[in-house]
Every structure is written in structure tokens, then in C-alpha cells.
Amino acid sequence: MYIILQKVFAVVLAAECFVGITINVFISAVQIMKWKAVKSLESCDQILLCLAISRSLSLTSLSFDFIIRAYFPLTFLDLIIFSVVTLPRILLYYTSFWFTTVLCVFYCVKIANYKNRVFLYMKTRISKLVPQLIGASLLISLAFTIPFFWYFFQLHRQTLGNHFVGKVNMNNSSFEDNHRIQTIVYILGSSLPFLIFCGAVSLLIQSLWLHTRQMRRSGGSSFQDPKLEAHFSVVKSMTLFLCFQIIYFVCAICMFSLYVNFTSPWKMFIYVLACVPSGLHSSYMVYSNTKLKQAFLEMWHSFQRCI
């Protein structure tokens, strides 16, 4: 029964990763072609490009990690392989999470209406700050990954001291205690962008509520106001995005906290579930973005003509 579930989950994960990587590569290709044509990208497109590249690499790393755990679990006893597989996955997880947060904050600042001085300043400067925000996201992601690099370095010294060169025993109490500490660091590093993301969504919803109340007081037809329709569209997208992020956040924490005991089918199912938000949200971005949707339809028509 376990072998059957393992094969089923492997097939589903392969399909999810293939679709997710294909969509994100498509988004990246469209943005790169646009940049090549006009020699520049809008602020939103810059974030989408970074997010698509990060997600495609993250899905590739996640699928590779799953394959090794499911079919070659003994290879993780080699500390070098263990580090090479784990560290990029952690870094890509953080970068994907931060880029989605930057995208959410960008939409919130651009669309929401507040008279706060800081918010008004950000509204006029957010487009110019996007490169700095992307760079800061990379630096913060790298900063939260460094403790894991240091942990693997110390673990390597420990294995050398015990004369088990390149090998690590994942079942001893020392490893499990250190892993609990790393799990806490992992959760803390994930919580910061997640809280910022939730704050941006809350501000956007509050802005919509204030705008609706103002329209009702003025006696206007709030549902026919173009700005309010844009608010509703973005809030719907952000709410869906928030649900995806919650699923991704919980699954990523479970994957890391259950790192040692990767044996039961339901733990394997977490890997399958973790790939769903990235693929679905990337698909939704293509569907809701006029330029991406048009490029996709043109590519699809060209594919049909070739067939």
C-alpha cells in the first residue's frame, strides 16, 4: 500500500512541478522578451520576473528533494549531499516568500488610499524603491539561510571528530535537538514576510471599506465606481493569494519540522500539497494579467497552427 501511494504521489508531484515550472518559465520568458524589446521593465513586471524565476527554481529544488527522500533516502546520510540539497531549497523558499510579499505590498501601496504621510510618501516612491526591495529580499533571505549553513558546517566538524567522515546520523539525540532549534529559526524567518503580507492585505481591505463608506455617504453608486471595482478585483485576488500563502507557509513548516521522520504517506502528501499554491497562483497571475494572458493566447494559437 505504501509503495502504491508513493508512486501516486510521485506522479502527482511530477505533474504539479512540470505545470508550475512551465507557467513560471513562461512568465519569465515574457518579461525577459519585453525587457529585451524596450530595454526596461515596469516595477510590477520586475517583481513578477523575480518571483517567477524564484518559483521555478524552488519547484525544481522541491521535486529533486522529494525524489531523493522517496527513492534514495540513504544518500542523505552523506552530509555533503544533505547540505547541497537542503540549503538551496531553504534559500529559494525564503526568496519566493519575500518576493510574493513585495508584490503584495506593491499592490497595496499603489491601490489603497490613506492620508498618512508615510503612506503617501511610499505611494510616490514605491516604483523607484522596487529594485531596493528586491535586493533587500535577497539579502534577508540569505541572512536567514546563513544559520543553516553554519549548522551544517558544525555538523560536518562533529562527524569528522567522531571519525564518520562525511556521514551523519539523523537519529541521534544531538541531531534532533539541533534540528528543533533550526526549525524555530525556520519558522521565525518565514513569519516575518508572512506577517507583512497579512498586514498589506488587511490595509487593502480596510481601504476598500473606507472607500465604500465614503461613496455611500456621498450618495453615489459605489458598485459602479471604477476605482471601487478595481478595489474589489484586487481584494478578491489578494484574498485568494492569502489562502495560497497560508497553505504554502504551513506545508513548508511541516516539511522542515518532519525532516527526520520522512516515512509515512501523509508526510509525503505535504510535498504534493506544497506545490499547489505556487502553480495555482502563477496560473491566476497569467489569467488576470492582460499582457500575460494575451501572450499566452498568442503562443497557444501558434502551437495549434504548428500542429
Lookup result for grid cell 508531484? 13
pLDDT of residue 306: 78
Task: Answer whether residue 260 shows pLDDT above 50.
Answer: no
137 touches 46 (CB < 8 A) = no
Highest mean pLDDT pick, 3-7, 92-96, 273-277: 92-96
Task: Answer whether residue 119 shows pLDDT above 70.
Answer: yes
List the beta bridge partners of residue 38: none
Q: How many CB atoms lie within 10 A of CB 181?
A: 11
Domain ranges of the chain: 2-306
Residue 148 CB partners (closer than 8 Å, separation 6+): 86, 87, 90, 182, 185, 186
C-alpha cell of residue 160 = 569528522
pLDDT of residue 101: 92
Task: Answer whether residue 253 shows pLDDT above 70.
Answer: yes
As a whole number, the mean pLDDT across the chain is 79
At the topology level of CATH, where does 2-306 sit?
A: Rhopdopsin 7-helix transmembrane proteins (1.20.1070)
pLDDT tens-digit map of 172-219: 555 565 667 777 888 888 889 999 998 988 888 888 777 777 766 665
Residue 35 CB partners (closer than 8 Å, separation 6+): 41, 45, 49
Distance CA(87)–CA(89), nearest Å, equals: 5
pLDDT of residue 159: 56
pLDDT tens-digit map of 85-108: 778 888 998 999 999 999 989 988
Give the torsion sign (CA, 129, 132, 138, 143). negative
Task: Answer whether residue 143 shows pLDDT above 50.
Answer: yes
pLDDT of residue 157: 58
Per DSSP, 39 falls in state S
CB under 8 A, 24+ apart: contacts of 147-152 = 147/182, 147/185, 148/86, 148/87, 148/90, 148/182, 148/185, 148/186, 149/83, 149/87, 151/178, 151/182, 152/79, 152/82, 152/83, 152/86, 152/87
Which SS3 state, helix, strand or coil, does residue 76 take? helix
**Mean of pLDDT values over 47-54:** 93
pLDDT of residue 202: 86
pLDDT of residue 164: 43
